[in-house]
Structure 1
Amino acid sequence: MKRICSIYKSPKRNEMYLYVLKSDALKRVPPELMVAFGSPVHTFDMVLSPERKLSREDIVQVLENLDKQGYHLQMPPAEDEYIEHLPEELLRRNDPM
């Protein structure tokens, strides 16, 4: 089950992305979600298939969401995930000791 997908980023939240079927564009995304997401910025199109790996999302879940609801919302990573990836130097600089 291959799908041609368009990916949009949110201008309101860093690292929030909306996956939609290219053929549907944003037609199936609920208006309430569009208000919360902000004016979408198209980033790129790609072919999705179960064999493809995504860096932060489960491809099977993305494909299921696209089929069932017409979109998949990728939320930003949790705040503690950001901290895990900060360079040690920055963490030491902010250490009060």
Structure 2
Amino acid sequence: MPVFVYKSLRKPDTYLYLPKADAFASLPETVGAPLQPWQFVLEFELTAGRRLARVDAGVLQANLHTHGFHLQFPPSVLDPLVAGGVGDG
């Protein structure tokens, strides 16, 4: 499945994944408006077993099929991949 990736020019490290180029209609206005404008970054083929840097390929594919988009927000200090889980230490 082809995937088109856009970055928010308003919120750093925030990315929008779409199953079709410029298919912004699938993104609810209340979600997309605070993040606009979008700049095209890359297109890739999502295949079984594909490894991605900051998103699980299965979650990405499910969100594209179910919602028509996937948003990737910047990691935060509460992100377990960055800071460890609650109670660690």
For the structure 1 residues 68 and 24, does the alpha-carbon distance in structure 2 shift closer, same or farther, using more than 3 Å as the test?
farther
- Cα distance in 2 between the residues matched to 1:63 and 1:47: 11
* Letter matched to residue 14 of structure 1: P
Unaligned runs of 5+ in 1: 85-97
**Runs of 4+ in structure 1 over 6 Å off:** none
Equivalence for 1:9? 7
Q: Which string of whole-angstrom CA distances, capped at 9 and with x for unpartnered residues, describes residues 21-80 of structure 1?
A: 126721211111111211111111111123110011111000000000000000101146
* CA RMSD after TM alignment: 1.8
Equivalence for 2:39? 41
Percent of residue pairs bearing the same amino acid type: 29
> Could you state the TM-score of these two structures normalised by the residue count of structure 2?
0.80
- Cα distance in 1 between the residues matched to 2:38 and 2:21: 16
Q: CA deviation at 1:14?
A: 1.2
* Letter matched to residue 20 of structure 1: L
Equivalence for 1:54? 52
May I ask how many residue pairs the two structures share in their alignment? 80
Unaligned runs of 5+ in 2: 83-89
Quick check: 65-74 or 47-56, which moved more?
47-56
Quick check: 62-71 or 48-57, which moved more?
48-57
